[in-house]
C-alpha cells in the first residue's frame, strides 16, 4: 500500500505539486569497498586499511529537483542530529508547496517530539512519511549511497587528512559530475 502512495507522491513531485525528499544516513569508510581487484603478476593485491577513519553522512535527496543536500559527521549520528538536519531541510522548503520527507524505520528517525512535528507542518508544510520495515528498495537515496560508494568514488584509500575533502567532493559533485535519473 505504501509503495502505491509513494508512486503517487513521485508523480506529484514530477508535476511540481509537492516537494518529495528521500532522507537517510550512510557510513563512509576511508578504505574503498573492494568487490574485486588486480595486481601485477607475481605481486600480492594489497590496500592499506584506515579502520579508524570513517564518517557518517546524512542526506536529503529532492526527488523532483534531483538535488542532494548532505552533511558529514565524525561521530555516530544520534536523534538530535537527525532533527537538526530535518529542521534545516524544512527551513529550505518552499512554503507554497507541501514537503514530504520519506525515511526508513531506523530508531533515530522516530520519537521526534510532537511540538517539532507540528512546527514543521504549520510553519513549513513538511510531514514525515515512514516506509515499511525492511524496504530499502523504496528509498531512492539508498540507490545514491550505493553509486557513491561503489561507482563514483575514486578507488584510493583516503587518509584522516583527506577523507572530509573527498566526501565533500563526492557528494557536492552530485548533479554535475554524477547523477541518477529516476524516471
CA distance 75 to 52: 11
* pLDDT tens profile 60-117: 999 999 999 999 999 999 999 999 999 999 999 888 899 999 999 999 998 999 999 9
Q: Is residue 79 part of a domain?
A: yes
Query: Does residue 92 lie within any of the structural domains?
Result: yes
**Whole-angstrom Cα distance, residue 176 to residue 183?**
18
pTM of the model: 0.87
Q: In a 3-state reduction of DSSP, which class is residue 181?
A: coil
Residue 96 lies in a domain: yes
Q: Provide the domain count of the chain.
A: 1
Residue 82 lies in a domain: yes
Is residue 134 domain-resident? yes
Domain, as residue range, for 23: 2-27+52-172
| Among 95, 93, 100, 90, residue whose Cα is nearest residue 11 | 100
State the Cα–Cα distance between residues 79 and 76, nearest whole angstrom: 10
Judge whether 180 lies within some domain.
no
- What would the pLDDT profile of 148-168 be if each residue is shown by its tens digit? 988 888 878 888 889 999 999
Residue 120: pLDDT above 90?
yes
Residue 152 lies in a domain: yes
CATH number of the domain residue 127 falls in: 3.30.420.10
Amino acid at each position: 500500500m505504501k509503495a502505491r502512495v509513494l508512486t503517487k507522491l513521485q508523480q506529484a513531485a514530477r508535476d511540481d505539486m509537492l516537494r518529495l525528499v528521500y532522507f537517510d544516513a550512510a557510513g563512509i569508510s576511508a578504505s574503498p569497498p573492494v568487490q574485486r581487484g588486480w595486481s601485477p603478476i607475481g605481486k600480492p593485491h594489497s590496500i592499506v586499511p584506515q579502520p579508524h577513519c570513517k564518517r557518517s553522512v546524512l542526506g536529503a535527496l529532492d526527488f523532483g529537483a534531483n538535488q542532494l543536500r548532505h552533511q558529514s559527521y565524525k561521530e555516530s549520528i544520534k536523534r538530535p542530529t537527525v532533527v537538526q538536519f530535518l529542521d534545516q531541510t524544512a527551513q529550505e522548503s518552499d512554503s507554497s508547496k507541501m514537503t514530504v520527507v520519506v525515511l526508513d524505520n531506523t530508531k533515530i528517525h522516530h520519537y521526534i517530539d510532537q511540538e517539532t512535528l507540528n512546527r514543521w507542518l504549520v510553519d513549513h508544510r513538511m510531514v514525515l512519511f515512514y516506509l515499511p520495515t525492511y524496504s530499502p528498495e523504496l528509498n531512492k537515496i539508498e540507490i545514491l549511497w550505493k553509486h557513491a560508494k561503489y561507482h563514483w568514488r575514486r578507488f584510493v584509500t583516503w587518509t584522516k587528512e583527506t577523507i572530509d575533502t573527498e566526501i565533500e567532493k563526492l557528494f557536492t559533485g552530485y548533479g554535475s559530475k554524477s547523477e541518477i535519473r529516476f524516471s
